[in-house]
């Protein structure tokens, strides 16, 4: 893989170029050569920090379908590796005594067709169940209240940090102090139990953690 250097001049440019070449050489050999080759790019840009005058910015491709149980390309070892890619990069840079260089790692999510289809199918099961069990409920009503599962990427919330996660959603009206959804005979806790039960029986649950935004005031 090549590299790009931006907003750096003079001696700092020469130092940044040298570090970039070293980093690519070692990381290609011990980090990005796994699983048939992991695609990435490297951009080196300037920093206002005098101690660290430049920063290595890695963008790593994550194949979503390879992380998801039930897809044709699912590989649990790949998912375990890619979700820890920042640590693998840091470890690789230690071989060059570059672990003190400023490093940023971002993820470019690709190939998610099968995973998105699985989430869509899960939503169909959820909506069909609610429509069959609750009087007067329609698909339009469920969608208007955002009652659905959502595929979330690069998820960070409180103590949870996941490369990919499934969110449970169900909107309430802020004027309702009892926190009932505007659907007759359906309470927030009950909706969560229904969604959790359906989710736990899907192959998505093998790969991804979940978090709930049911009855969250928007």
Cα separation, 147 vs 183, whole angstroms: 11
What's the pLDDT tens digit per position in 2-22?
Answer: 789 988 888 889 989 999 999
Residues 10, 95 within the same domain: yes
User: 210 vs 184, which has greater pLDDT?
Assistant: 210
Which of 77, 110, 143 terminates a domain? The answer is: 110
DSSP H/E element including 214: strand 210-216
- Top pLDDT among 212 and 178 is at 212
HSE value, Cβ hemisphere, 13 Å, CA-based, for 138: 3
Q: How large is the average pLDDT for residues 154-178? A: 73
Residue 39 CB partners (closer than 8 Å, separation 6+): 1, 32, 60, 61
94 and 176 co-located in one domain: no
Residue 174 is predicted with a pLDDT of 46
Q: Report how many domains make up the chain.
A: 2
Same domain, 98 and 154: no
pLDDT at 172: 61
Q: Which residue has the higher pLDDT, 127 or 134?
A: 127
Which of 58, 86, 110 finishes a domain? 110
Segment 130-151 mean pLDDT: 89
Label residue 90 by pLDDT band (50, 70, 90): very high
The answer on pLDDT for 218 being more than 60 is: no
Q: Mark whether 150 and 77 lie in a shared domain.
A: no
**Tens of pLDDT, residues 56-72:** 999 999 999 999 999 99
Q: Both tokens of residue 117?
A: 């289809």
Q: Is the pLDDT of residue 155 over 70?
A: yes
pLDDT value at residue 136: 81
Same domain? For 31 and 117 the reply is no
How many percent of the chain have pLDDT more than 90?
Answer: 63
pLDDT at 217 over 70: no
- pLDDT band (50, 70, 90) for residue 107: very high
Q: Are residues 96 and 132 in the same domain?
A: no
Q: Within this chain, do residues 21 and 88 fall inside the same structural domain, yes or no?
A: yes
Q: Where in the sequence is the domain holding 145, given as residue range(s)?
A: 113-216
Q: What's the pTM value of the predicted model, to 2 decimals?
A: 0.86
Q: What CATH number does the domain containing 95 carry?
A: 3.30.300
Nearest residue to 163 via CA among 63, 90, 16: 63
In degrees and rounded to multiples of 5, residue 164 shows phi and psi of -140, 140
Looking at the structure, tell me whether residues 100 and 33 fall in a common domain: yes
Tell which wins on pLDDT, 71 or 215: 71
| 142-149 average pLDDT score | 90
When pLDDT is cut at 50, 70 and 90, the band that residue 157 belongs to is low
205 and 119 inside one domain: yes
Question: Among 110, 138, 161, where does a domain finish?
Answer: 110
Averaged over 179-198, what is the pLDDT? 81
Do 155 and 190 fall into the same domain? Answer: yes
Q: Are residues 126 and 208 in the same domain?
A: yes
The mean pLDDT of 33-49, rounded to a whole number, is 92
Co-location of 32 and 125 in the same domain: no
Tokens read off for 12: 């700092």
């Amino acid at each position: 893989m090549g590299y790009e250097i931006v907003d750096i001049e003079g001696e700092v440019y020469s130092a940044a170029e040298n570090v970039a070449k070293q980093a690519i050489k070692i990381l290609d050999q011990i980090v990005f050569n796994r699983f048939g080759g992991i695609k990435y790019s490297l951009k080196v840009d300037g920093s206002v920090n005098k101690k660290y005058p430049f920063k290595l910015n890695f963008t790593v491709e994550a194949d979503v379908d390879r992380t998801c149980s039930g897809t044709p390309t699912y590989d649990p070892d790949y998912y375990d590796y890619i979700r820890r890619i920042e640590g693998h990069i840091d470890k690789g840079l230690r071989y060059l005594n570059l672990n003190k260089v400023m490093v940023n790692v971002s993820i470019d999510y690709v190939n998610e067709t099968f995973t998105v289809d699985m989430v869509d199918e899960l939503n169909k099961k959820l909506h069909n169940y609610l429509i069959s069990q609750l009087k007067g409920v329609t698909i339009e009503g469920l969608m208007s209240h955002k009652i659905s599962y959502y595929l979330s990427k690069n998820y960070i919330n409180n103590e949870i940090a996941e490369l990919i996660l499934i969110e449970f959603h169900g909107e309430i009206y802020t004027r309702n102090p009892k926190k009932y959804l505007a659907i007759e005979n359906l309470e927030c806790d009950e909706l969560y139990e229904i969604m959790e039960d359906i989710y736990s029986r899907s192959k998505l649950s093998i790969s991804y953690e979940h978090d709930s935004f049911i009855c969250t005031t928007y």
